Structure 1
């Protein structure tokens, strides 16, 4: 709590010059959206597909200083699994949409494609095998709003938009400023978090702006590991990682005459975090007679930016832009040893690193069809994308012999420095035959240098039945290209297999050893999406939507099982490999179908001249099934995926979720309540399959404007201290890990329990 108290004190002293500012929350139903349509001036409820709009203020009011957790407790269709031990999952923070994989949701910033992580999730957690966008690289202080398109949109945006699109809109004000100091601590006295952020807008020339946002956050780890019953002490570290994150965001535009402007935006983030690996028992290394817990620490630099020019050419609207993104991670492991080096082993190792870079050139022409029937819009354009992926080997001591325990690091059998080019062209049409009917269609062709071309299409419709009531539907195809990370990742690391710690080699699909075990060239995933729903409102501040969806995915990309046994050992021995005993690789092994229902309801209005009330509720039900599991073409006795891996893509995320947010403002006082009720999920945390019960969390907050422009707030997250179910198979758990793990890596509510926080915000 000392972070919170010092934050409050400093902010009060610093904000004495704050001036009065009228604070009004935007109505998300009437918010003009830019996602899912290339027409201008369309509100969220007027869209042919479901689009949720979440304001930056709403995100900040959750009291979660990272974007993934905030969206998890606000949006029924978003899930953010709180991985507690897995280094690649716990230290990068993508979200999932509609129960699919993180890399099946396309993330945009200001409508431009965001680059993915260089770090590939190869751990046993949600999103296993994916390299998605780390939302923790975008500071909350820079966000104006987020638009979430819950519909397949590959025909508009290209690869990855199978589940939908998350479009993060940055602040672009030319005046005013805000600042925040935040502190939190769990009721158990750990996980102390301190955050300081600020954002300011400056006028440039005649009608231009420069908006600068900065943020710095530090958090101490939490640990909810049970006592290791083999040694009668806590040996594991299971909880949120120790982390520090510093970010800078810019958004700018400068008019070029009356009909055009040059614009740019970007982010720069430095992340340092670490997690404990599996505990190594006494006798494992002579350096640590009492055993040891290796700590894996990724250090990440992330940068993304776009510059462009947009304007009118007669009736045409044109936009030309160039984007760049880079995610670079260097890994080290410490408090460990390489047992192959005996007493001469170092205790800290440089494990190497990975870099992913992306260059995107976009050009779009758009023409409003104001004089055609009841109106419409037509757009066409193209895109060029260049991607590269590189692996840097670690210190030789890190991968010598059996390697550094915890993470032996990167040492690809062949140098990994790969790249590819992709070209695309699209046509997008929306037309109103009559005022009440909106019809749309889009077609796009993408050509990738490594696997060829893919055509996708999308048809949309919206019919207004009467004032305040409409039906809508979309149908289309989509795809997700196999990422460079999935095709070329190579590493050796420790992993659990049937509760036993083993050394596993992850090999590229082109490696001769992987080929000998059943690997083949990856193909793009292919999808068909259908969504249909009802829209009511807005009527006197009230709105309601109900949507049904179905997503069929063929050739879904997954990380194979850890293949082991005599046949695998023989192939490894013949190849001269002795530093790992099991092998995994990526494969198009499965087809799946996901369907669900999503409901939203909102009301906001004035109860009195100085009293406002806002209520939002949402519900989602999701069901994924496995349609096809292809056999291993080389070793049929070794399935490419076993139950644990299948559950990650079918049942390991909550089957349902209910969310509710209520806020009441009366004069200088405000109170808020957030409720999130998560349904059951099924996974295989160790050796037994288990269905984990649904859990409900309640967050409450209150605030007071101590003077114009300055607000102090206090809140508690998880008021009733909800915790996930514990692992059932404790007998096997004790044998494998001493019973240290309280639950699996899939919990959406995390392990921290009740958490207290304080905020001080100032608006200038």
Structure 2
């Protein structure tokens, strides 16, 4: 922390000396945001709550080909642990803000609520039991900028905004663009190719349309070690094979009479192949005498968008929109067998799937207030409908022991659930004097399945002198239990103490869950406090420091995996023959997360032919377990054990420091990213382990051949850094699984990326 303050102080002195020369540049470089307020767009440094803005140019310059990876190394409060084993962990790679769960962050696209994934994360990695929004389904080439509001905002935007809000703003520029990017790892695997094409044009004199298409192909990586039992590599640990085809469009058209028609749509088709854990030769010797690794193929269709009208009437600005969302996942298993069927077993199975649908109908009206130095008042109503369905696999996939690696979906009771929710809100801002901004919001929501929720927020910003502002917020929030968490049910093969077993995940109101201690889910409730400083000592330089405290009651989590004689008796009584252990969702914990965030940015000119941009950030979070509810039905079985608590509170780096610097000089651009991820803790196989800090460095170099063509090279993870190895890895597939699947850095090591981009 001292080093960061020293660095930012040095930046401040240099910025003050260069202030006069950069004054004109600052007018062009100041960042304007819309998230966090329904008033007119404003500067980041005038926001009562901390907001990060990442431009499309910054995202593209990193060398990564997806939003999650790019943000993980440039946004200090954003973490993206890269779980790989199993289809849910590999394809719902959960992102986190302020150390909280993936589904405690609300995602907006052009200010409209985006839908969650149909794939729930039920593997033993960070985000276990969460239902995240799939940022990987949004083509990065279609993004103009990303705004990250680091503050509770449920009173403004509704459920899920406990940790903050990520608003993805789509491109609206004119002209054509094309990019081809290819790369691979130092080990020679993980080959990637990404190609994108986009074009923005006008529709006569009254409208515009922007179209984007993107294809991302990634080959698998494997960092598994030799299996000591057989003297060869038997398993796989790394990224899966995947192919994404994404399309995006957004535009608007002036209908006249102060009314504008607008809309956007995003579609992604993903196919990925993920490995399950290795099965020994004794599992199916007649079919796989050398043992085998089952592979799970996921076909995922993800689509969303919005269409609306906005206009003005008697001093009011109004916006009426409808935003549908759709996520449909289908699973198939190959290179496997169902041991209950003997040698007659197929080696490929249809495992079924899951579908989630959302529709949000929203109306908002706002008008400026002519009080004091100005203000704004906004009112709105919203209706949200959601549906969730589980599609059973073919009978052979779940009969008896089920398909090894991924027994097909076969819920005891068919799952086809839906619910509706209505909301009303008021959101106001007032500047009694030019140096003070006051804001307040209140929101009421009614859900058809669990009842009412009310949240509120008060914010203030005071600028006593032009170079200093003090800000703070107090808010309450909530997160409604998702339909996936209420009704999800499946059987999976996972490691328990180093032994592969079939584990049943049962719906909360299933008789098995009730007999093991489950109770109806309640919404999570949060209380957020934050305060901070904004310092702008010279043109082109800013420094912010914020502290926060987030208390969450009734956190929803996937319970501990329960086993033993009592569990066996309950499963037997229910007629469950393909699972020996069980789990369910529960409101078992209350937690408090405390932390602070520091950011500094300095940007300006390098003579007449260049410019530079340097951003530094540091964050520290600490989550404490305040209360753990007992299992009232089976007191000897905890609802959450050490492993589940660690995944909730300690599986992410406690600290994170980032430094991003970029310089443009004539035809050349060079950049460096440094990210240091602090230590974290997790149970690995049989014991709890603390994993040490890890530092990565990324280098990029671009050359503009002419005004239309640019070539670039990136070296990612230059130091070839890896997480600490698992201490008790002898129990992980004969020592084959070497690295944890939590923390902040994956296991691919050094990567090389070459890209070619063009404007036309």
- What TM-score, normalized by structure 2, do the two folds share? 0.96
Give the whole-Å Cα distance in 2 for the aligned partners of 1:747 and 1:439. Answer: 38
Give the whole-Å Cα distance in 2 for the aligned partners of 1:64 and 1:365. Answer: 39
Task: Find the counterpart in structure 2 of residue 103 from structure 1.
Answer: 103
Change (3 A) 1:381 1:538: farther
What is the deviation of 1:87? 1.8
Task: Find the counterpart in structure 2 of residue 37 from structure 1.
Answer: 37
Aligned pairs (5 A) from 1:49-448:
49-173=49-173, 175-285=174-284, 286-369=286-369, 371-448=370-447
What is the deviation of 1:614? 1.2
1:508-562 CA deviation, whole Å, 9 max, x = no partner? 0010111011011000000000110000127210000000000000000000011
Asked whether the equivalents of residues 28 and 53 of structure 1 are also in contact (C-alpha less than 8 Å), the reply is no
Q: SS at 1:386's partner residue? A: strand
Deviates more, 1:603-612 or 1:140-149: 603-612
Give the whole-Å Cα distance in 1 for the aligned partners of 2:154 and 2:288. Answer: 53
RMSD: 1.3
Give the whole-Å Cα distance in 2 for the aligned partners of 1:84 and 1:254. Answer: 44
Aligned residues: 736
Change (3 A) 1:340 1:162: same
What is the deviation of 1:26? 9.5
Give the whole-Å Cα distance in 2 for the aligned partners of 1:481 and 1:118. Answer: 16
Give the whole-Å Cα distance in 2 for the aligned partners of 1:263 and 1:413. Answer: 44
1:200-257 CA deviation, whole Å, 9 max, x = no partner? 1010132310000110011100000011111111111100111000000000100011
Deviates more, 1:185-194 or 1:205-214: 205-214
Give the whole-Å Cα distance in 2 for the aligned partners of 1:577 and 1:670. Answer: 61
Change (3 A) 1:292 1:28: farther
Q: SS at 2:578's partner residue? A: coil
Deviates more, 1:704-713 or 1:584-593: 704-713
What is the deviation of 1:258? 4.9
1:653-673 CA deviation, whole Å, 9 max, x = no partner? 000001111111111111110
Asked whether the equivalents of residues 81 and 94 of structure 2 are also in contact (C-alpha less than 8 Å), the reply is no
Change (3 A) 1:470 1:225: same
1:738 aligns with 2:738: no
What is the deviation of 1:611? 2.0
Give the whole-Å Cα distance in 1 for the aligned partners of 2:27 and 2:522. Answer: 43
Q: SS at 1:402's partner residue? A: coil
What is the deviation of 1:571? 1.2
What is the deviation of 1:32? 1.9
Give the whole-Å Cα distance in 1 for the aligned partners of 2:417 and 2:41. Answer: 42
Asked whether the equivalents of residues 430 and 439 of structure 2 are also in contact (C-alpha less than 8 Å), the reply is yes
Task: Find the counterpart in structure 1 of residue 12 from structure 2.
Answer: none
What is the deviation of 1:28? 9.8
Asked whether the equivalents of residues 72 and 80 of structure 1 are also in contact (C-alpha less than 8 Å), the reply is yes
Give the whole-Å Cα distance in 2 for the aligned partners of 1:366 and 1:468. Answer: 31
What is the deviation of 1:84? 2.2
Give the whole-Å Cα distance in 1 for the aligned partners of 2:634 and 2:464. Answer: 58
Asked whether the equivalents of residues 93 and 135 of structure 1 are also in contact (C-alpha less than 8 Å), the reply is no
Task: Find the counterpart in structure 1 of residue 8 from structure 2.
Answer: none
Give the whole-Å Cα distance in 2 for the aligned partners of 1:462 and 1:181. Answer: 44
Task: Find the counterpart in structure 2 of residue 532 from structure 1.
Answer: 531
Deviates more, 1:662-671 or 1:188-197: 662-671
1:79-98 CA deviation, whole Å, 9 max, x = no partner? 00011213201122341100
1:756 aligns with 2:752: yes
Deviates more, 1:204-213 or 1:321-330: 204-213
1:114-152 CA deviation, whole Å, 9 max, x = no partner? 000000000000100011100011001100000000000
The ranges of structure 1 where at least 4 consecutive aligned residues each deviate by more than 3 angstroms after the TM superposition are 24-29
Give the whole-Å Cα distance in 2 for the aligned partners of 1:514 and 1:28. Answer: 58
Aligned pairs (5 A) from 1:339-738:
339-369=339-369, 371-537=370-536, 539-729=538-728, 733-738=729-734
Asked whether the equivalents of residues 185 and 191 of structure 2 are also in contact (C-alpha less than 8 Å), the reply is yes
Change (3 A) 1:347 1:151: same
Give the whole-Å Cα distance in 1 for the aligned partners of 2:739 and 2:713. Answer: 30
Give the whole-Å Cα distance in 1 for the aligned partners of 2:63 and 2:684. Answer: 30
Give the whole-Å Cα distance in 1 for the aligned partners of 2:187 and 2:470. Answer: 49
Give the whole-Å Cα distance in 1 for the aligned partners of 2:289 and 2:145. Answer: 53
Give the whole-Å Cα distance in 1 for the aligned partners of 2:633 and 2:199. Answer: 60
What is the deviation of 1:734? 2.2
1:56-114 CA deviation, whole Å, 9 max, x = no partner? 11111111101111000011100000112132011223411000000000000000000
What is the deviation of 1:748? 1.7
Deviates more, 1:532-541 or 1:194-203: 532-541
1:154-187 CA deviation, whole Å, 9 max, x = no partner? 00000000000000000012x2111100000101
Asked whether the equivalents of residues 405 and 493 of structure 2 are also in contact (C-alpha less than 8 Å), the reply is yes
Give the whole-Å Cα distance in 1 for the aligned partners of 2:29 and 2:562. Answer: 50
Unaligned runs of 5+ in 1: 1-23
